[in-house]
Structure 1
Amino acid sequence: MDKHIVLAAIAMAWSYHVAARITINIACSNFPPYYYVEDGACVRGRALDKIRQLNEKQKKYVFKLYVTSPARKTVDFQNRKFDMSLYSNINWGWDKSTVFASCIFYTNHEVFIARKDQVADNSAYFDDIATKRIVAINGFHYAFAHFNADREYLLKNFSIELTNTHQGNIMAVLLRRADVAIVTKSFLDDWRREHPDLSPDLVESKKYDQTYQFTAVVRKDSMLTKSEIDTLLGCDQR
């Protein structure tokens, strides 16, 4: 048989194989260190490594990224732009009648940070966050705000500036433009390693704003089932 015919047949079979896989779109919004969005693209982060693993573990689904933002995420989900949110939690503004949560596959925390010279020996400094000038991420759900991510609510009830980056929020505290920032603990640990000269100027709270119990949040009418995603995430036996 002509080798060109063989190659064409292989290509067609591969195309059919890929096309036959069910696409599951996963939301990617800037959420370091899990997702880093730069210039409208999801470029890196721990979640991308996890998604590669999901694709390598099976051949039924192909998991792809859909870039959105924390503030736009709910509307994009309602408009069926994506099917799943990874490193998420069903209590973060989801309509529970339309989604289900996987098992918990990872745990992390959010901490408050301030300049060390502001806190000094005041162990109660972080007890009343509402009296401080706060910087936080627009669209995030925070325990101190009763998980209400509505921008107008936050601006009305707190002295708060809503931004798009943890890095910028840390710098706002260091430059005294804010008293307190709320930062993902894993991001803060990475930042401290990368900035050993600045790290001693910061102190983090011993209490957490919240403990993340990370799951996948999946559209109920997608083809992906809870047992399948639990198995793929490796937490179904825990």
Structure 2
Amino acid sequence: MSVTGRFSRTFLQLASTALLAGWLPIAQSETVITLGAYHFPPIADMGSNQKPKGLLGDLITALEAAHDDLDIRVFHTSPKRRYLDFEAGRYDIILFESADWGWSDRDALISQPILVEEEVYVALNKPDRDQSFFDAIASRSIVAMSGYHYGFADRETDPDVLRQNFRIEFSDNHNRSLRLIKADRPSLAEVAIINRSYLRDILAENDVCRSQLLISDKPDQRYQLRVIGRKEGRVTADDLMRLLHPLIANGSYAELVHKWGLQLPDNLPAQLAANGHPE
């Protein structure tokens, strides 16, 4: 055997021994996480290219910037389909979900709250209307987002059940819901249900719209949003919380939340520490 051959063989033997001993440097593998997302502006504003904008889009960018080995991919689902896609393993994690939205009875691990939001009733502003207009909401004709959970309906999402119990029209976006309200067709839609942060953005850009609308003081529901992951998943809700922790600790996450007119839960850093994520 040549000198070169003996050297190559010796090097390979040494490398094998080193690998077994655990001290030879090995390139760190990339962490790939698939996030489920559906249109839920301004938390997740899904554009025509299915790339999320809003808080979720900003948060994905910030997480990947904070973790060099992280690759976050988005799986586009829908409010109705998200549970089937979750159970089929089409995504690992879904962010900004309430435990009350059908997750507590599923094989899922649920994080502590990371976001707070609420939905309010919106009607056309007329001289004879005040806050009492919303007192008997079940008697009004309602336009609501298909697949969303609402407090007035005890979080029921089945359209047939909802039609049996309410005069309800389904919409696929808030802009359409507001247009139906402004059209002043009481037989079709007297009240829309809109999340507070989205409505705040619309009103900030349009003073005319603000004067046209009557907005309830009391919300339909106020919810705490969390991370949902599979119990035996490749990536868990707890894994995502570990990745999120540096952004919470340095204030970056709070800046993104406030940018989109949303709210943080009280004492979020303290909650993280109590659940094993040191500050």
Give the structure-2-normalised TM-score: 0.73
Tell me what 2:64 maps to.
55
Q: Do residues 77 (structure 1) and 86 (structure 2) align?
A: yes
Q: Deviations over 1:21-76 (max 9, x none)?
A: 23221111111111222336134211111122222233454322111111211111
Tell me what 2:241 maps to.
230
- Summarize the alignment of residues 3-152 of structure 1 with structure 2, pairs less than 5 Å apart: 20-39=29-48, 41-59=50-68, 61-94=70-103, 96-117=105-126, 120-121=129-130, 123-152=131-160
* Greater radius of gyration (CA): 2
Q: Which sections of structure 1, spanning at least 5 residues, go unmatched?
A: 1-15
Q: Quick one: percent identity of the two aligned structures?
A: 29
Structure with more of its chain in strand, by fraction = 1
Question: What letter matches 1:27 in structure 2?
Answer: G
C-alpha separation between the residues in 1 aligned to 2:94 and 2:69? 19
What's the Cα RMSD here?
Answer: 2.0
Partner SS for 1:104: coil
- Summarize the alignment of residues 144-223 of structure 1 with structure 2, pairs less than 5 Å apart: 144-177=152-185, 178-223=189-234
Partner SS for 1:140: coil
How big is the shift at 1:165? 0.3
How big is the shift at 1:110? 0.4
How big is the shift at 1:85? 1.2
C-alpha separation between the residues in 2 aligned to 1:236 and 1:114? 38
Partner SS for 1:117: coil
Give the structure-1-normalised TM-score: 0.84
Report the number of matched residues.
220
C-alpha separation between the residues in 1 aligned to 2:59 and 2:221? 23
Tell me what 1:3 maps to.
none
Where do 4+ consecutive residues of structure 1 move more than 4 Å? none
Q: Which sections of structure 2, spanning at least 5 residues, go unmatched?
A: 1-26, 249-267, 272-279
